[in-house]
With several copies, the nearest count.
Chain A
Amino acid sequence: MDKRLLTREQIAKRIANDLQSGDIVNIGIGIPVLVSNYVGPDAEIIYHSEQGVLGMGKKAKPGEEDPDLVNASKEPVTLVPGGSYSHSADSFAMARGKHIDVAILGGMQVSEKGDLANWKVKGVKLGSIGGAMDIANGAKKVFIAMTHTSKNGDIKIVKELDFPVTALRCVNRIYTDMAVIEVQRDGLVLKEIASGFSVEDVQKVTEPKLIIDEDLKEIQV
């Protein structure tokens, strides 16, 4: 069987399958932005955007842009019916106060304890935090969407972070182009695996020893 890494879109689609109607979800930049495209019409998901939008809708069409209604990447968006605005302190009260059900974030490194690095490359002087630390710390569940290894092949799922930390013990699940991995108290549990890959293939590019779920499946997307 061919080994087929998931595309960015397929990773997003796989994550969308794990969202439930009613979830309040914060979406980070990168692959996470694609997730909302794959949420089915039978789910009512409420998107939180850090600058004070709860119930963020689709990107604004030409002509309906308002410079005062933007997403976290400063692109013009819309508000869905039922949406509301808050000031930044209250918006982050939502994030820090454990009111957001799921944060879907990109990752540079994730440790076997669920520590996350995603805000600054190692060795760089100037980085931007934005809402990353508050949201990673505060969301009820943190899902990481990323490629399993970096462009130049570096392992990203590691025993200990050596990139600058975003938040400790915050990640619940890691969705990569190769696997779905759950962070549990006793370690990383391999739950699903991309079509054509073996457990050994995944372990080879994953530093901590993986626990193999008894119900290991192929990723369906």
Chain B
Amino acid sequence: MKLINKIYDSMDAAVADISDGSSILFGGFGGAGVAYELILALHRQGAKNISAVSNNPGYHEEGIAKLIAYDRISKLTCSFPNAKDSYVFRQKFEEGKIDLELVPQGTLAERIRAGGSGIEAFFTPTGVGTEIAAGKEEREFNGIPCILEKAIRGDYAFIKAKKADRWGNLVYNKSGRNFNPAMAMAGKITIAEVDEIVEVGELDPETIVTPGIFVQRVVKRSGL
């Protein structure tokens, strides 16, 4: 019997096919729910000219800040680029080595969910009257001024979860959940870095947050 098996043996194997110029959605808020080991594997792999979507640009040289430090990311779509410890991004941005698309956090999450859900664009009040509205269509619904925001999808999504099974079903840990479920939906190839792999059927069906349909690859963290 040919069983479904989305489990990869190593982080390196899971990211091996990512080519230059790919778009990647990176889960995480601050340091919570970040697929750190996948990001390190992508750094070793060397793909460049990546179009990245991530709520934060990484701190110090950790997370995607490492990819930015090595000029692997050419564009970042992000809500919070300018934190104190995000000096790597700030420097590269000032040097003109990375483009920024600044997006309000809720709009970012919703654009990603839309990308995974067959919604091509939506009207929302967030950003009306701000610099975020520049160049966007504005329209009123029931007297509420809104702007038109477009779906975001990725060639890949890098997800961090707590547990997975070989079907790719996922549960998360606390607020490590954050962007991960929406990004899992919007990645063409979603790769989940997980703390633990369990047997199919072990996860309570009522508590699965990301069903396996949204996940293509699963790798267990080494924790090193």
Contacts and interface: CB of A to CB of B under 8 A. Distances in A.
Q: Do A and B bind each other?
A: yes
Which secondary structure dominates where chain B touches chain A? Answer: loop
Contacts of A59: none
A24 interface: yes
B105 A88 contact: yes
Interface stretch (B16-24, B28-36, B44-52, B65-73): B28-36
Interface residue tally of chain B, by bracket? 35 or more
B121 interface: no
Interface string A38-55: 000111101011111111
Given A51-B29, A52-B177, A128-B79, A93 B116 contact: yes
A105 to B, nearest CB: 14
A129 B79 contact: yes
B126 A49 contact: no
Interface in A45-86: 46, 48-55, 66-70, 74, 79, 81-86
Interface string A122-159: 00001111111111011000000000000000000000
Given A44-B4, A99-B214, A70 B129 contact: no
A133 B127 contact: yes
A52 B174 CA distance: 9
Contact of B118 (A51, A70, A95, A167): A95
A165 B129 contact: yes
8 contacts: A41-B1, A92-B105, A92-B118, A93-B117, A96-B110, A97-B116, A129-B105, A130-B79
